[in-house]
Each structure stands twice: as structure tokens, then as C-alpha cells.
């Protein structure tokens, strides 16, 4: 009886030790993944705003030349940037305000669908006003967005294909 007891005891301890080793190695893996995640590059709020600024400007010239396909593309780029802000900057005070930009974007989307230049122009004004309203709300009223005078890039033709 006795030897059998010791054998079972030893086997039990061995199995237990092995499990502890596995748990420890999983813990180490999680730790190293966590520190890798913390070091992953995440675009800042201002980086997204820089991209929004470019698409806001391109959108204007797309509408001006009635290049509705490009205008539609630019509106969706803006919507994607908003979604990215909501995803990557979830929970920030500023992010809670970003939704105010959706109604004017929807209205521009409608104008594009109807190829309605007058509605496009008035919705664009309301979009620009909303940019500034939000900047005011986050105490950054010194960031003033306006309707652009010149295309943001000289290497892109905003006129539609004939």
C-alpha cells in the first residue's frame, strides 16, 4: 500500500508543478503582449483632425465642380475618420461631442445623391459652422475652419471626367 501511495503523491505533485509552469508561461505571454500593445502607434485626435481638414477641403472642390462621385467619396472619408475617432479615442470628453457633425454630413450626402448644388452649398456651410462650434466647445475657438479658396493639392484634378 505505502509505495503505491508515494508513487501517486509524486505523480500528483509533478502534474501540479507542470500546470503551474504553464500558467506562469501564459502570464508572461500576456504581459509581453500587453506591453507591445501599449507601444503600438495610435493616431492622436489631432492626427485625425488633420485628415478631416484635408477631406473637408477636397469635398468643397468636388462639389464646386459637381464631381458628385468624388464628393460622395470625400463625405465617406470624413465619416470614416469620425468612426475612427470614436473607436480609437473612446471615452474622451471631445469624442462625446463628435456626433454633432453627423447631421450636416447626412445633409451633404443627400445633396450629393440629388446632385443639388444649392443644398450642397448650404449643407457645406452648416458643416463648417459645426467644425467651429465643436472647437469652441472644447475651448479651442482659435482653430477656425473656413470654406477653402484654393484646392489643397495641385496634383489632384477635382473636375469630373468628361
DSSP 59-105: HHHHHHTT-HHHHHHHHHHHHHHHHHHHHHTTT-HHHHHGGGGHHHH
Grid cell listed for 5: 501511495
Return d(Cα 58, Cα 71) in angstroms, integer: 8
Return d(Cα 129, Cα 150) in angstroms, integer: 19
Nearer to ligand HEC by C-beta: 12 or 103?
103
Q: One symbol per residue from 107 to 146: x for binding ligand HEC (CB under 6 A), - otherwise; what is it?
A: --------------------x--xx--xx--x-x--x-x-
Q: Indicate which single residue of 3, 6, 46, 90 sits in contact with ligand HEC (rule: CB under 6 A).
A: 46
Q: Indicate which single residue of 8, 26, 50, 117 sits in contact with ligand HEC (rule: CB under 6 A).
A: 50
Nearer to ligand HEC by C-beta: 55 or 158?
55
Ramachandran angles phi, psi of 81, nearest 5°: -65, -35
Cα Rg of the chain (Å, integer): 28
160 part of the interface to ligand HEC, by CB under 6 A: no
Q: Kindly list the residues in this chain that would bind ligand HEC in the complex (CB under 6 A).
A: 44-46, 49-50, 52-53, 56, 94, 97-98, 100-101, 127, 130-131, 134-135, 138, 140, 143, 145
Amino acid at each position: 500500500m505505502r509505495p503505491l501511495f508515494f508513487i501517486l503523491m509524486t505523480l500528483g505533485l509533478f502534474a501540479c508543478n507542470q500546470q503551474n509552469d504553464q500558467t506562469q508561461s501564459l502570464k508572461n505571454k500576456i504581459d509581453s503582449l500587453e506591453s507591445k500593445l501599449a507601444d503600438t502607434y495610435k493616431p492622436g485626435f489631432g492626427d485625425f483632425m488633420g485628415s478631416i481638414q484635408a477631406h473637408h477641403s477636397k469635398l468643397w472642390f468636388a462639389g464646386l465642380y459637381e464631381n458628385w462621385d468624388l464628393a460622395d467619396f470625400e463625405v465617406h472619408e470624413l465619416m470614416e475618420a469620425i468612426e475612427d475617432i470614436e473607436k480609437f479615442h473612446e471615452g474622451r470628453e471631445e469624442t462625446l461631442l463628435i456626433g454633432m457633425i453627423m447631421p450636416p454630413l447626412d445633409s451633404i450626402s443627400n445633396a450629393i445623391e440629388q446632385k443639388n448644388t444649392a443644398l450642397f452649398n448650404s449643407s457645406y456651410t452648416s458643416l463648417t459652422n459645426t467644425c467651429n462650434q465643436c472647437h469652441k466647445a472644447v475651448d479651442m475657438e482659435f482653430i477656425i475652419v473656413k470654406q477653402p479658396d484654393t484646392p489643397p493639392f495641385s496634383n489632384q484634378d477635382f473636375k469630373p471626367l468628361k
